[in-house]
Amino acid sequence: MINTDIVKKRIADTLQLPLAKLADDKLLTDVIAESFAMVEMVIDLQEEFGVRLEQSELKKLKTVADLTALVAAKTREAA
């Protein structure tokens, strides 16, 4: 079962960031300042977990917790 911790670990690996920097309440724009890195991470999550994200969904995300919850929920739906 894919949970938010697994998603967070994947984000940390892709962005080569320590997990400590990915606190749930951290703003995504603070964690990933560079737009190319954001695209890389979003595409990687979809490739890794076999889900698809939409721009309308991404626009609503503010924090790390918002993103990990969305991907984990989509993974459960796809299962």
Partner 1 sequence: MSLRGESERWLLSFYRASEIDGALFFGRLCKVIRDPRVQFDLTRHFADESQHTRWWTDCMDELGVRPMKVISSYQDQYLEAGGAPANLMEVLAVTLAFEKRVAGSYAAHTKVPELAAPIRATLEKIMKDEGWHIHWVSKALRELEPEYGQQAVEAAIQRYADADREVYQRTLAEHDEVVKALAHFKAA
Whichever of 48 and 65 has its CB closer to partner 1, that residue is 48
Residues 1-60 that bind partner 1 (CB under 8 A): 14, 35-40, 42-44, 46-47, 52-55, 57-59
**DSSP letter string, 3-57:** -HHHHHHHHHHHHT--GGG--TTSBHHHH--SHHHHHHHHHHHHHHHT----HHH
Whichever of 38 and 69 has its CB closer to partner 1, that residue is 38
Kindly state whether residue 69 participates in binding partner 1, applying the rule CB under 8 A.
no
Asked if residue 25 lies in contact with residue 63, where contact means CB atoms within 8 angstroms, the answer is: yes
- Residues contributing to the site for partner 1 (CB under 8 A): 14, 35-40, 42-44, 46-47, 52-55, 57-59
